[in-house]
Amino acid sequence: MKPYRLIALLLLLAASAKTIAQSTDNRLFELRIYYCNPGKLNTLIQRFNDHTTKLFEKHGMTNIGYWLPVNNTDSALYYVLAFPSKEAQEASWKSFIADPEWKQVAAKSEENGKIIAKIVSQNMRASDISPAIAASQKSPDRTFELRTYTCLPGQLPKLITRFRDHTEKLFEKHGMTNVAYWTTIEKDSSQPKLVYILAHKSVEAVKQSFDAFRADPAWIAVRDASEKDGKIVEKLESVIMKPLPFSTIR
């Protein structure tokens, strides 16, 4: 290769790498699940609608989405926040909890009893296979699905590759919308999980789309090829959800 062509190629590769780096979402995301005491879910929703989401923004947190499970036997509320960094997350929660306005709101809302029985929190990073994670409000409201994949040891990279090269496109082919993809940050430094959200046209469409996806010869060929040396996924968890009116993703 002639020197000037080599230089041009190197400049092109450098520019491409810069573009990719600029487009990477480096925020820290936090998935939070609140399990309410009996009869308190509506009180929690009202508190978020009237006060909490605004106070989050006041203290540097970005509201990503708020959902309720369709079969909500545990009186749960799921939501995702974004922060510029881990340090910003810690500072935001500290200032939020100390805010006199929040203390007043919390006390007022719990005059008739404690609202939340349990909180589950999971920090995450956006995967490089994720679409841009931003507000997307559709009408009428869509149905969402939160899916969590626990991989067998060492198999997460293979799963990510399968999603990047095939699965996401096949989801879209069968009427599903890729909303966001994350990998978890595990406190014990164990293998991360893949967590992602799909949007469906309706609750009924969830089953219809996945039935068609699983029967697709293209998917069967991809799955079999990727698992020729063994299974990839150890466990799959799925939660079908509907967005709350104040969710930025609906």
pLDDT of residue 24: 84
User: What is the percent of the chain with per-residue pLDDT over 70, rounded to a whole number?
Assistant: 90
Helix, strand, coil % over all residues of the chain, rounded to 5: 40, 30, 30
pLDDT of residue 242: 97
The CATH fold of domain 28-125: Alpha-Beta Plaits (3.30.70)
Q: CA angle at residue 89 from 88 to 91, to 5 degrees?
A: 65
pLDDT band at 14 (very low <50, low <70, confident <90, very high): very low
The one-letter amino acid code at 132 reads: A
> Three-state DSSP class for 142?
coil
Two tokens, residue 160? 């990510």
CB-CB contact of 52 with 101 (8 Å): no
CATH 3.30.70.100 boundaries in the chain: 28-125, 127-243
CB-CB contact of 56 with 79 (8 Å): no
Q: Architecture of domain 127-243 in CATH?
A: 2-Layer Sandwich (3.30)
pLDDT per residue as tens digits for the range 48-104: 999 999 999 999 999 999 999 999 999 999 999 999 999 999 999 999 999 999 999
Two tokens, residue 100? 């006199």
> Three-state DSSP class for 1?
coil
Position 10 pLDDT exceeds 90? no
pLDDT band at 138 (very low <50, low <70, confident <90, very high): confident
The one-letter amino acid code at 223 reads: R
Q: Considering only CA atoms, which of 39, 103, 49, 48 is closest in space to residue 75? A: 39
Indicate the range of 139-153, 157-171, 215-229 predicted with least confidence: 139-153
